[in-house]
Amino acid sequence: MSNPHQLALRCLFNPPIPLSRPLLPTLAAYQQRLQDVWAKHWLTNRGDQVCELSQVLQNRLGASHVSLFCNGSLALLLGLKALELEGEVITTPFTFAATTHALHWAGLQPVFADISPDTLTLDPAAVEAAITPRTSAILGVHVFGIPCHVAALADIAARHKLKVIYDAAHAFGVEIAEQPISAFGDMSMFSLHATKLFHTAEGGLLTYKDAKLEKQLHLLQNHGISGEDTVELAGTNAKMNELQAAMGLCVLELVEEERKKRKKLVAAYAEALSAMPGVQMVLPGVEVTPSYQYVPILFSSDAALSRDVATARLRSLGIHARRYFRPLLSAVCPYDALPSSIPSNLPCSRRTVENILCLPLWGGMPDNLPEVIAKAIGS
Ligand code: T4K
């Protein structure tokens, strides 16, 4: 005999439910934008679409300066270069690999500090304890769109004369007490990858306060070339192209509607998971306007299933939840050899990476999914 829970678990999703699904404009809307690109025969190197998107995003994000890139990883790398940082940069091991790799490629030494259990972002006390005479900056990650402890980090940075850079890959549209997330720190990087709420298929965006960085970033992303016969520095190619920007301009028109749908789904998850022992949604504080980018949940020993058993059960139902962000970057070569990677330095990060799970979230996903997932992991 089957009980009602077991009956519900039999309804498999085929094709499987992905973690996220890109927000897409109608083909007609995209084609309309492309008509202008075709008419001008201009595909990249600061065309009209890129300039328009840059202007629109500057207003939308309330940022004094913005620069667009071909992806978020190169945006972050070139942002670090433009700031002319040296030596050590204190950062979190609980992030996507691109954060730490950007430091590596910029010739900087990552120094891992532990995260706070409330936000899963850098613990300010651990950051302060990690400062040495070689420290030049703090690279925080607003992981899952949950803001770092921005006030405490700003205070530490001011006292020790450090730069603050935020990896805001997941934080498009996030505000803290109505202040845009880009208002905090010297520079923020937003990923515009297809998996993000707002995307350009592939893409990246830097916001920053120092006007002088704009020219430097342009040189760095355009081979260091400033004129037909002038190469000023050793740059690379990291430009956004017109097809990406046209996609972004179309997607931007859909973002608010998508946010509303995701907000409802997040509320449904909260309701479905509320009475479940040992399973807790990781949510930003009440003063935060969320990005609705991910639905991270944490398992504790009171949960009916462990994180890994729950993940496997969901997968057997055709639901692709993801164990973001595993492994910790402190456990990955070459960073595992760093003194700050020693496990005793990172207890909260280690606990988190063993117990975190991100549940599917995209506007068009089935309405009953939060309930199905709650049933699957709660029994
Ligand atoms: N910093 C942080 C904190 C980041 O999270 C990231 C990127 C970066 C920096 C670097 O930014 P970018 O250089 O990427 O702009 C994905 C993304 O590729 C990556 O952008 C993102 N973070 C990371 C968290 O997620 P994967 O390897 O986990 O993605 P994948 O292919 O497994 O797709 C995830 C889900 O989305 C699946 O359910 C399938 C679905 N999907 C994916 C794509 C690409 C679709 O339905 N359609 C699609 O087109 O890395």
- Which residue lies with its CA nearest to atom 5 of ligand 1? 96
What local confidence, expressed as pLDDT, does residue 10 receive?
A: 56
Alpha-carbon span 344 to 350, nearest angstrom? 9
Find the helix or strand (DSSP H, E) in which 281 lies: strand 279-281
Distance 1 CA to ligand 1 centre (A): 42
In ligand 1, the atom with minimum distance to the C-alpha of 75 is: 13
- Which residue lies with its CA nearest to atom 15 of ligand 1? 72
Q: Domains in the chain, ordered, with CATH?
A: 27-252 (3.40.640.10), 255-377 (3.90.1150.10)
Alpha-carbon span 233 to 277, nearest angstrom? 57
In ligand 1, the atom with minimum distance to the C-alpha of 141 is: 3
Token pair for 257: 């509607």
Token pair for 101: 């790799």
Alpha-carbon span 330 to 92, nearest angstrom? 9
pTM listed for this prediction: 0.96
Distance 314 CA to ligand 1 centre (A): 20
What local confidence, expressed as pLDDT, does residue 12 receive?
A: 77
In ligand 1, the atom with minimum distance to the C-alpha of 19 is: 38
Mutation to probe ligand 1, out of 76, 193, 251, 323 (largest number of atoms < 8 A from CB): 193
84: left (phi over 0), alpha (psi -120 to 50) or beta: left
Mutation to probe ligand 1, out of 191, 197, 369 (largest number of atoms < 8 A from CB): 191
Distance 193 CA to ligand 1 centre (A): 6
Ligand 1 pocket, CB under 6 A: 18-22, 71-73, 95-96, 98-99, 141, 167, 169, 191, 193-195, 204, 320
In ligand 1, the atom with minimum distance to the C-alpha of 191 is: 15
Distance 231 CA to ligand 1 centre (A): 34
Task: Dump the DSSP string for 74-128.
Answer: HHHHHHHHHTT--SEEEE-SSS-HHHHHHHHHTT-EEEE-PBPTTTSSB-HHHHH
Q: What are phi and psi of 116, to 5 degrees?
A: -90, 145
pLDDT tens, per residue, the chain with 379 residues: 344 444 445 557 889 999 999 999 999 999 999 999 999 999 999 999 999 999 999 999 989 999 999 999 999 999 999 999 999 999 999 999 999 999 999 999 999 999 999 999 999 999 999 999 999 999 999 999 999 999 999 999 999 999 999 999 999 999 999 999 999 999 999 999 999 999 999 999 999 999 999 999 999 999 999 999 999 999 999 999 999 999 999 999 999 999 999 999 999 999 999 989 999 999 999 999 999 999 999 999 999 999 999 999 999 999 999 999 999 999 999 999 999 999 999 999 999 999 999 999 999 999 999 999 999 998 7
Residue among 241, 77, 72, 51 at smallest CA distance from 172: 72
What is the chain's percent helix, strand, coil content, to nearest 5? 40, 15, 40
Residue among 65, 5, 14, 57 at smallest CA distance from 249: 57
